[in-house]
Amino acid sequence: MSTFQAPKGTYDLTPPRSATFLAVREAIAAPLRDSGYGYIETPGFENVELFARGVGESTDIVTKEMYTLTTKGGSQLALRPEGTASVLRAALEANLHKAGNLPVKLWYSGSYYRYERPQAGRYRHFSQVGAEAIGTEDPVLDAELIILADQAYRSLGLRQFRILLNSLGDKECRPVYREALQTFLRDLDLDEETRRRIEINPLRVLDDKRADVQKQLTDAPKLRDYLCDACKAYHEEVRALLTAAGVVFEDDEKLVRGLDYYTRTTFEFVHDGLGAQSAVGGGGRYDGLSEMIGGPELPSVGWALGVDRTVLALEAEGIELDLPATTSVYAVPLGEEARRALFGVVTGLRRAGIAADFAFGGRGLKGAMKSANRSGARYALVAGERDLAEGVVQLKDMESGEQSAVPLSEVEAELAKRLG
Ligand code: HAM
């Protein structure tokens, strides 16, 4: 151990577990790539105002959890706590919405930062793969995204996850509901902070986890009863499309989410094996966000899936991904001359697209063969002075243990043939 450790609330991804993280990212990205989503990458930090306006001044993310900094030049920046505001900002900046091809469908993968109280499944640095479909109001798009997330989780073998679905209404009906809810909440016996929340973000009060608060909320007005006809019809269409696709979901009226930009469709993927931090992913429609950050009207929808929690979900279900060994061939030289010759062979194999590794550091046969075993390689190449004098190397099948001499000049072709 060095003098230093990973900062509180963070952890390092190291082999072999890191391979699972890569595989999870890939499994989430694959259905997106196959469905017309293009890759986007944005900076790890942004102008702090982008998140204040986009995610919302009253959210925990903005008020408590952002890592903010002032640059030497005096700019106020924040490490990105989420991806949606950045992706929309970047799409607007690049005028992607003007290319005449709406929706603009984008996917991304990266690190996000929130100064939260660390606990199992909740970190200060975490990783998401996300998707945003910008510029189109169409329930098919909402359904597409939910179906693709479902497909990604299923391709990983996950089964114990549930999809929670809700509609938060739009700029017509939500303000009416908001006021009715505020009137109801103001009469309850609540602490100071919650009273403040009633005025700023009353829907979040519904999400309060405390039993004494929940008990008082039984008769709270329901958003469902306030949805306007357009929102109701939209939501019914999303539900019907999911049902037609065989995607099972649960209607969850209490689902409000922790970001302010949502309108209409909201959803969360929860996994039952994860305890308190059970949300493995979430998202929804954000029809007003573009205007909130100074852009034109661009109704949009998206989600982000947490890679860390998806890996925890795999572990909770006891799923081991079938990860192919990264090394196919492992070369073990015995002596100086063999080192040069075999390293040449390894370089040739790599250039031919065959994954190969090498016993570095002039180790003995026993230790080097152990490394060959550990590498998961299908074949080992062993050569000593006598082999080289005969112009051959020993090719060992690590599964069957069979070994045969192959002329040096033919090793590459022989391995290419055997590895198919
Ligand atoms: P979010 O629900 O804040 O949504 O985050 C999405 C997922 O990121 C969560 O479900 C969780 O798996 C993971 N996550 C969030 N915070 C942490 C943390 N502290 N530690 C570990 N994992 C975490 C968003 O970020 C929205 N931008 C999603 C979206 C995209 N909505 C529309 N488009």
* pLDDT for 204 beyond 90: no
Residue 387 included in any domain: yes
Distance 341 CA to ligand 1 centre (A): 51
| pLDDT one-digit tens code per residue, 278-299 | 999 999 999 999 999 999 999 9
- CATH code of the domain covering residue 21: 3.30.930.10
Contact between 267 and 242 (Cβ < 8 Å): no
Please tell me whether residues 301 and 378 are part of one structural domain.
no
377 vs 332: CA distance, rounded Å: 12
Domain end position, chosen among 290, 316, 342: 316
Pairing of strands 125-134, 45-47: unpaired
Residue 364 forms part of a structural domain = yes
Residue with tokens 């209607």: 251
Same domain, 148 and 232: yes
- Which pairing describes strands 250-251 and 161-167: parallel, antiparallel, or unpaired? parallel
**Cβ atoms of 307 and 21 closer than 8 Å:** yes
On whether both 345 and 311 belong to a single domain, the answer is no
Q: Atom 13, ligand 1: which residue's CA is nearest?
A: 306
Residue in the structure block whose two tokens are 């000049």: 409
Instruction: Give the atom of ligand 1 at the shortest distance from the alpha carbon of 303.
Output: 30
Decide whether any atom of ligand 1 lies within 6 Å of the 126 Cβ: yes
Task: Find the 132 Cα to ligand 1 centroid distance in Å.
Answer: 13
Separation of alpha carbons 43 and 219, rounded Å: 45
Contact status, residue 98 vs residue 63, Cβ threshold 8 Å: no
- When divided into structural domains, the chain yields a total of 2
In a domain, 214, yes or no: no
Share of the chain above pLDDT 70, in %: 100
Q: Choose one of 122, 128, 270 to mutate for the ligand 1 pocket test, by most ligand atoms within 8 angstroms of C-beta.
A: 128
Ligand 1 pocket, mutate which of 25, 82, 141, 261 (most atoms under 8 A from CB)? 82
CA angle 253, 282, 140 (to 5 degrees): 80
> Which of 287, 316, 345 finishes a domain?
316
C-alpha distances (whole Å) from 206 to each of 167, 174, 252, 280, 289 are 14, 15, 12, 21, 23
CATH number for the domain spanning 405: value is 3.40.50.800
Does any domain span residue 384?
A: yes
If you measure from the C-alpha of residue 210 to the centroid of ligand 1, how many angstroms do you get, rounded to a whole number? 22
Structural domain contains residue 200? no
Q: Are residues 282 and 343 in the same domain?
A: no
Centre of ligand 1 from the C-alpha of residue 1, in Å: 32
Q: Tokens 């996000």 — which residue? A: 112
Domain coverage including residue 345: 329-419
So what's the pLDDT on residue 138?
A: 98
The pLDDT of residue 201 is: 86
Same domain, 293 and 342: no
> Using CA positions, which residue lies closest to atom 16 of ligand 1?
122
Distance from the CA of 35 to the center of ligand 1, in angstroms?
22
Please answer whether residues 357 and 327 qualify as being in contact, where contact means their C-beta atoms are separated by less than 8 angstroms.
yes
Supply the residue whose CA is at minimum distance from atom 30 of ligand 1.
303
Pairing of β 356-358 and β 329-333: parallel
Residue 217 falls within a domain, yes or no? no
**CA 111 to the chain's CA centroid:** 9
Q: What would the pLDDT profile of 8-37 be if each residue is shown by its tens digit?
A: 999 999 999 999 999 999 999 999 999 999
Say how many Å lie between the CA of residue 281 and the centre of ligand 1.
6
Overall average pLDDT of the 49-72 stretch: 93
Cβ of 105 less than 6 Å from ligand 1: no
User: Which residue, of 316, 342, 358, is where some domain finishes?
Assistant: 316
Q: Is 81 in the pocket of ligand 1 (CB under 6 A)?
A: no
333-368: pLDDT as tens digits: 999 999 999 999 999 999 999 999 999 998 889 999
